[in-house]
Amino acid sequence: MRRMLWLLALAGCNPDPGEIDQQVGYRDGLEDGQPNSGERGTVVITEVLWSGSVTNDGRWDARDVFVEIKNESARTVNLSGWRLQVSGVRMIEWQIPASDRELDVGEHAFVAAKDDGCLLEPDWLLPELSFTYGEPFQVTLRDADERLMEPAGSRTAPPFAGGYDGVVSRSMEKVELMFGGRGSEPHSWHFYTDAEVDVPNDDRVAESCRQHTKASPGRPNSPDYSGAFATGSFE
């Protein structure tokens, strides 16, 4: 009898967690308007132009910035309801609006502060997006259930790459062909380079800005200085 009472007491301390719809489930994105859940490292931040754009005649616009996202998972992803956060000197949190827009496997997309500058046809607009020049920043992406995907940059260290030297502004690009490279580690990043590629990756920078704005918004990143190409192959 005592054993029976003890078991009943244990059962009372461990209530049924309920049906799946009462818990944080995994969103597969198959229902209309439903976002996808993510898994850490499958949707990542691959480029940040934090230093602004420069026109071919030398006009610098520190407000013309962007953050690029890449889908490295094995399925398309709907980012509705996902959150982009910028922390450091400035704190910004933005929820990606609900839409049918899906990010294909291997596809790059970018969030820009404006669409009337040097950056052409951004996938999303975030007018509040801004960076204090040269100050530490960290950009993070979380899915609709607040799961952290991967951070980029550091809240305590200067930007890992990129900048404006008075003539040219270059973005901070992630070395995409790097296994185990984390966005929070400086060696995972490099300046945009001018190395020749078979397919131009600056076509979403206006022609009136390409001489002095070196970036690849919405496109595969440029090779890093070691010669590794961000194509996902070993060739």
- Domains of the chain (ranges, CATH numbers): 35-214 (2.60.40.1260)
Give pLDDT tens digits for 100-114.
888 999 999 999 999
Distances from the Cα of 79 to the Cα of 35, 37, 63, 106, angstroms: 6, 8, 25, 14
Residue 235 has pLDDT above 80, yes or no: no
Query: 49-90 pLDDT, tens per residue?
Result: 999 999 999 999 999 999 999 999 888 888 988 999 999 988
- From CA 216, how far away is CA 84, in angstroms rounded? 20
> Is pLDDT above 70 for 232?
no
| 66: nearest Cα among 115, 134, 113, 123 | 113
Q: Which two tokens stand for residue 56?
A: 């071919």
DSSP E strands in 9-147: the ranges are 43-49, 53-54, 60-61, 66-71, 77-78, 83-88, 92-95, 102-103, 108-112, 124-125, 137-142
In this prediction, residues 121-138 reach a mean pLDDT of: 95
